[in-house]
Copies of this chain bind each other. A is one copy, B any other.
């Protein structure tokens, strides 16, 4: 993306890219507009042609993160094929892969302290992500006898909570990293046991 003289050409995207690098390296609080501008080889005032302020750039990253997240989750779910169960487990792996490959997006989404209502776009993106997870949970829940079936939103929340917990506590090269097991193994086994509890996986294995 070489500079073409006075005008940059695609500064907005370049700033997002630069911010992603900075956030991945130093966390959402450690990124500054000045450094993002510098990384994009542009004066410190230039970013304000594209983003109203610092938070707006952070919000943009979170929105992109939610969109990417939805895509990856949808892809992993693959409309419940070959089976709802195996597709669901694939989503779990995709969740960890997303957190690992897009740490800055993940941080902007969940650790930057942004209000989901910062902008309508962000609220919509977050809601879409929520809907994807709840929809798949509902599809899988159909295989549970009705009287033992939790509300899909609760089912989804349980799984999301465990996934997020694994990411935060054990997946990130979390400082001091005392992870007792690989994150993938931890999440797979944890969700496996949880699904046993719902009767979705036969008890003996």
Which A residues are closer than 8 A to B by beta carbons? 27, 29, 110-111, 113-118, 123, 126-127, 130, 148, 150, 153-154, 157-158, 160-166, 168-170, 175-178, 180-181, 186-187, 189-190, 192-199, 201, 203-204
In the bound complex, how far is the Cα of B126 from the Cα of A164, in angstroms? 20
14 more A-B residue pairs beyond the given contacts A113-B175, A126-B178, A161-B169, with a C-beta to C-beta distance below 8 A = A29-B29, A115-B176, A118-B175, A123-B176, A153-B180, A157-B169, A157-B181, A158-B162, A161-B162, A162-B190, A164-B164, A164-B168, A194-B194, A199-B203
In the bound complex, how far is the Cα of B160 from the Cα of A166, in angstroms? 9
| Chain B residues with CB under 8 A of A194 | 190, 193-194, 197
Task: Verify B197–A154 contact, CB threshold 8 A.
Answer: no
Main secondary structure of the interface of A (DSSP, over half): helix
Task: Verify A161–B166 contact, CB threshold 8 A.
Answer: yes
Specify which of B130, B170, B176, B201 is in contact with A126 (CB 8 Å cutoff).
B176
Q: Closest 8 interchain pairs by CB? A: A116-B176, A161-B165, A165-B165, A197-B197, A196-B197, A115-B175, A29-B29, A193-B197
